[in-house]
Amino acid sequence: MSEGVDLFGAPLRAERKPWYSPSRLKTFFDCPRKYEFSVVRKLPTLPSPHFDLGTNVHAALRDWLGLRPSQRTRENLIEFHRAAWRKNRPAFANRSRDELRTWGERGNAMLLRYADAVAPDLEPVMIEKLVSADYGDVVVGGRVDRVDELPDGSLRVIDYKTGKFPKSPARFREEDLAAPVYARATSGAFAGTPVSEVELQYLESGESLVFTIDEAWQAHKDLAVVSAANAVRAAEKSQAFEPRPSRLCEWCDFRQRCPEGKAFLDASPSPR
Ligand code: SF4
């Protein structure tokens, strides 16, 4: 992308453009009403130990990989994790010591597995940075966990996941918009250096989902990103956020204030 134009070659305009992240686009895709509650109205969400776990594990990895390779040990990785929990006051406000210990040990197990698997001489070229790409009328971006330089000079973007590996990787790949945004935005942050891979690393199981990036795939996905962002913009303009009840309502923080979600769950009780 040359300076002064968006990725479709149109001149960049000076005014501030709407900004979206892939996770916001996904929230809207899952349920526009949920997007309204969480992003537009910014209603508070319920405390989530899983969210705290993710935040603290990411913080530990960021601080640990910021050390020189020779300074990294299993012990200081766990110490960074402990420090992240200590700084995360809201996590303590909402749960018992036993619960915190359980979640902390779960995070430690993920981190030690990571420390054992990672190349001892790994020197990332970027750690936890916000990157974004201009898609014409909108900007889409997010926080990239790690970027490595590959032997051929191209880049690999790593995204850490503390959740479960997808049950249907094929469907996940089809619907995912994060990998193309990270590839596009990271390439822009490195003056157009190509990104050849985006790898989602599932820290609990050690599994990975790798997206191999080429121009045809990127162009196809760019259109999907623009289409998703335009759908969100249209809803924001018209203030029409239709509910989309599904099994996801079970985990939705707003189900108590959403008649459609409640009705769906009442009519189809959880199989769990
Ligand atoms: S309960 Fe279901 S339908 Fe309602 S906002 Fe949440 S996800 Fe959407």
When pLDDT is averaged across residues 127-150 and rounded to a whole number, the result is 96
| Residue 258 Cα: closest atom of ligand 1 | 4
Share of the chain above pLDDT 90, in %: 82
Residues 115 and 153: their CA atoms lie apart, in Å, by 25
When pLDDT is averaged across residues 213-227 and rounded to a whole number, the result is 96
* Ligand 1 center–CA 242 separation, angstroms: 9
Token digits of residue 250: 């079970």
Residue 160 pairs in a beta bridge with 201
| Residue 37 Cα: closest atom of ligand 1 | 5
- Cβ contacts of residue 256 below 8 Å, gap of 6+? 262
- Please give the pLDDT value at position 4: 56
- Cβ contacts of residue 29 below 8 Å, gap of 6+? 175, 228
- Please give the pLDDT value at position 12: 55
- Please give the pLDDT value at position 8: 58
Tens digit of each residue's pLDDT (9 = 90 or more) over 79-109: 999 999 988 777 667 778 888 889 999 999 9
Whether the Cβ atoms of residue 29 and residue 228 lie closer than 8 Å to each other: yes
Residue 14: pLDDT over 50:
no
- Please give the pLDDT value at position 1: 42
When pLDDT is averaged across residues 156-185 and rounded to a whole number, the result is 96
Tens digit of each residue's pLDDT (9 = 90 or more) over 58-83: 999 999 999 999 999 999 999 999 99
Strand, helix or coil at 179? Answer: helix
Whether the Cβ atoms of residue 30 and residue 36 lie closer than 8 Å to each other: no
Token digits of residue 42: 């910014």
* Ligand 1 center–CA 35 separation, angstroms: 9
Helices (H), 12-162: 22-30, 32-35, 49-65, 74-87, 89-94, 97-117
| Residue 30 Cα: closest atom of ligand 1 | 7
Q: Write down the pTM of the prediction.
A: 0.88
Domains of the chain: which residue ranges? Answer: 19-41+124-238, 49-117
* Ligand 1 center–CA 260 separation, angstroms: 7
Residue closest by Cα to atom 7 of ligand 1: 249
Share of the chain above pLDDT 70, in %: 92
Residues 82 and 48: their CA atoms lie apart, in Å, by 18
* Ligand 1 center–CA 258 separation, angstroms: 6
- Please give the pLDDT value at position 13: 54
